[in-house]
Structure 1
Amino acid sequence: MGHRAPRHPAPAVLDLFSGCGGFSLGFQAAGFRIAGSVEIDPSARATHAANFPEAVHFDDATTADPAEVGACLAGAPFTVLVGGPPCQAYARVGRAKLRSVAARQNAHLDDPRVLLFRHWLRFVEAIRPHAVAMENVLDCLSVGGRNVMEETAEALVSLGYVPRYTIMNAVHYGVPQMRDRAFLLAYRQDLGVEPVFPEPTRAHDLPKGYLHSRHVATSGAGAAASRFFVPPRHPLSGLPPATTAGEAIGDLPRLAGSKAAGATKGRRSTGELAAYRADVAPSEYASRLRSGGPDGGTSGHVTRAIGRDAVLCGLMPSGSEYPAAHAIAERLLSEEIAGRAAMGRPVPDCELPALRAGIVPPHPPHTFPNRWWKLVADRPTRTLLAHLGKDGYSQIHYDDAQGRVISVREAARLQSFPDGFRFEGTMNNAFRQIGNAVPPLLAEAIARSLAVALACGEDRLAA
Structure 2
Amino acid sequence: MIVVDLFSGAGGLTEGFVREGFEIVAHVEKERWACETLKTRICFHYLKSRNDLDLYYEYIRRSNDYKNIAQDRQIIFDKYPELKEKVESEVLNKTFGDPKEDPGATAKEEIIRLIEKNLKGRKVDVIIGGPPCQAYSLIGRGRMGRAAREDKRNFLFYYYRDVVEYFKPEVFIFENVPGILSAHNGRIFEVIREEFDTIGYNILSGVDEKDPRKNIVNASDLGVYQNRKRVILFGTRNNLKYPDFKKYAVKLNEVQSTRNAISDLPFLQPGEGNDYFWGEYENNDIKNLSEFQKLMREDSIGILHHMARRHQDRDRRIYQRAIEKAKIGEQLKYKDIPEEDSTHRNKEDFEDRYKVHWWEDVPHTIVAHIGKDGHYNIHPDINQLRSLTVREAARIQSFPDNYKFEGPRTWQYVQVGNAVPPLMSQAIAKAVKEECFNNPKYRIRSED
What is the SS of the residue equivalent to 1:392?
coil
Where does 1:109-258 land on structure 2 (aligned, <5 Å)? 116-166=156-206, 167-189=216-238, 193-199=240-246, 242-257=255-270
Letter in 1 for 2:342: P
The 2-side partners of 1:83 and 1:158 are apart by 20
Residue 154 to residue 33, structure 1, CA distance change in 2 (3 Å): same
Aligned to 2:67: none
Aligned to 2:319: 313
2:293 to 286, 307, 320: 286
Letter in 1 for 2:333: P
Letter in 2 for 1:34: I
Letter in 2 for 1:283: S
The 2-side partners of 1:111 and 1:199 are apart by 34
Pair 1:416 & 2:403 matched: no
Letter in 2 for 1:271: Y
Residues 384, 411 of structure 1: 8 Å contact kept: yes
Residue 279 to residue 65, structure 1, CA distance change in 2 (3 Å): closer
Residues 171, 242 of structure 1: 8 Å contact kept: no
Please report the TM-score for the alignment, with normalisation by the length of structure 2.
Answer: 0.73
- The CA deviation at 1:128 is 1.2
1:39 to 29, 34, 40: 29
- The CA deviation at 1:256 is 1.0
What is the SS of the residue equivalent to 1:301?
strand
Deviations 1:235-284 (A, max 9, x none): xxx99665211111000001113xxxxx26xxx96323234343982211
Deviations 1:93-137 (A, max 9, x none): xxxxxxxxxxxxxxxxx9956652221111111111121001111
- The CA deviation at 1:145 is 1.4
Aligned to 2:91: 57
The 2-side partners of 1:90 and 1:48 are apart by 25
Aligned to 1:375: 357
Q: Percent identity?
A: 32
Residues 274, 306 of structure 2: 8 Å contact kept: no
Pair 1:361 & 2:342 matched: yes
Residues 140, 148 of structure 1: 8 Å contact kept: yes
Aligned to 2:134: 88
Residues 224, 396 of structure 2: 8 Å contact kept: yes
Residues 244, 379 of structure 1: 8 Å contact kept: yes
Residues 202, 240 of structure 1: 8 Å contact kept: no
- The CA deviation at 1:314 is 3.3
What is the SS of the residue equivalent to 2:369?
coil
Gaps of 5+ in 1: 1-10, 93-109, 204-237, 258-262, 331-355
Letter in 2 for 1:15: D
Aligned to 1:211: none
What is the SS of the residue equivalent to 2:276?
coil
What is the SS of the residue equivalent to 2:438?
helix
Residues 132, 153 of structure 2: 8 Å contact kept: no
What is the SS of the residue equivalent to 1:48?
helix
Aligned to 1:435: 417
The 2-side partners of 1:116 and 1:90 are apart by 11
- The CA deviation at 1:71 is 3.6
Residues 46, 424 of structure 1: 8 Å contact kept: yes
Aligned length: 361
Aligned to 1:299: 304
Please report the TM-score for the alignment, with normalisation by the length of structure 1.
Answer: 0.71
- The CA deviation at 1:174 is 1.6
What is the SS of the residue equivalent to 1:34?
strand
Gaps of 5+ in 2: 44-85, 98-105, 139-149, 207-215
What is the SS of the residue equivalent to 1:82?
strand
Residues 90, 140 of structure 1: 8 Å contact kept: yes
What is the SS of the residue equivalent to 1:156?
helix
The 1-side partners of 2:401 and 2:38 are apart by 15
Pair 1:323 & 2:333 matched: yes
Residue 253 to residue 433, structure 1, CA distance change in 2 (3 Å): same
2:366 to 376, 379, 384: 384
Residue 67 to residue 115, structure 1, CA distance change in 2 (3 Å): farther
The 2-side partners of 1:72 and 1:65 are apart by 11
- The CA deviation at 1:377 is 0.8
Aligned to 2:49: none
- The CA deviation at 1:143 is 1.3
Aligned to 1:16: 6
The 1-side partners of 2:136 and 2:337 are apart by 40
What is the SS of the residue equivalent to 2:5?
strand
